[in-house]
Chain A
């Protein structure tokens, strides 16, 4: 039995410590905003935060999250909308939308570490894949979020 803190709530889950965190989040806790994409940590659709750092949950053992804070897309804003989410809407970033929760989590982690990123820093940090090719809007939205809410770095 693993004791996990996901979005501020305690969860006791009966699963091997080696099981991917993504499975726990989606199948046991029922938070399906985080997506399964490639399963080999290559695409970033499954990105969540563990103690504020972006990790690819398909390749992160659930046991390693014990004693840490896991944040999924559902818990990013804690009741409202995160500045990154507002910027995503303003720039109409998503097309099919499948990769976007991972994109938003990656962008939020970047802005926490680098509140005003350059294009080069965005390119280096956001390596998630979007098969609709929304990258140009993603970059614009990150700049918008950075400009509109420096506080994004603290959330």
Chain B
């Protein structure tokens, strides 16, 4: 009897629950589109190297994460990515260009 009542309550609750789920899913899809943007993931990566472009190909020139996420000695991120975007070369820039730590992948 208790089981039947529980099933009935579940059934009655289902329509509003589903509606809520739809709304949640829609909201999540918006969040997901941000969290999975290549512009974020290319440097928020668990790999030993950054990626580039919307196709997320491995960063050219064998660029590596390095110990502190700023490249390796002699080949730091900042060697090519200065503090501002470069209109002449097209190379993007920003202050302190580096990979996010692995904990933020």
Contact = CB atoms under 8 A, between A and B. Distances in A.
Interface in A66-103: none
B75 interface: yes
Contacts of A42: 60-61
A15 interface: no
Contacts of B75: 54, 106, 110, 124-127
B98 to A, nearest CB: 14
A59 B76 contact: no
A55 B84 contact: no
Contacts of B79: 41, 47, 53-56
Query: In which size bucket is the chain A interface?
Result: 20 to 34
A11 B64 CA distance: 35
A114 B89 contact: no
A20 B89 CA distance: 9
Which has the most chain A C-beta neighbours within 10 Å: B62, B76, B86? B86
Given A59-B91, A123-B62, A113 B74 contact: yes
Interface string A31-43: 0000000011110
A60 to B, nearest CB: 5
B80 interface: yes
A76 B104 CA distance: 40
A125 B81 CA distance: 16
Interface of A: 18-20, 39-42, 47, 53-56, 58-61, 64, 106-107, 109-110, 113-114, 121, 123-127
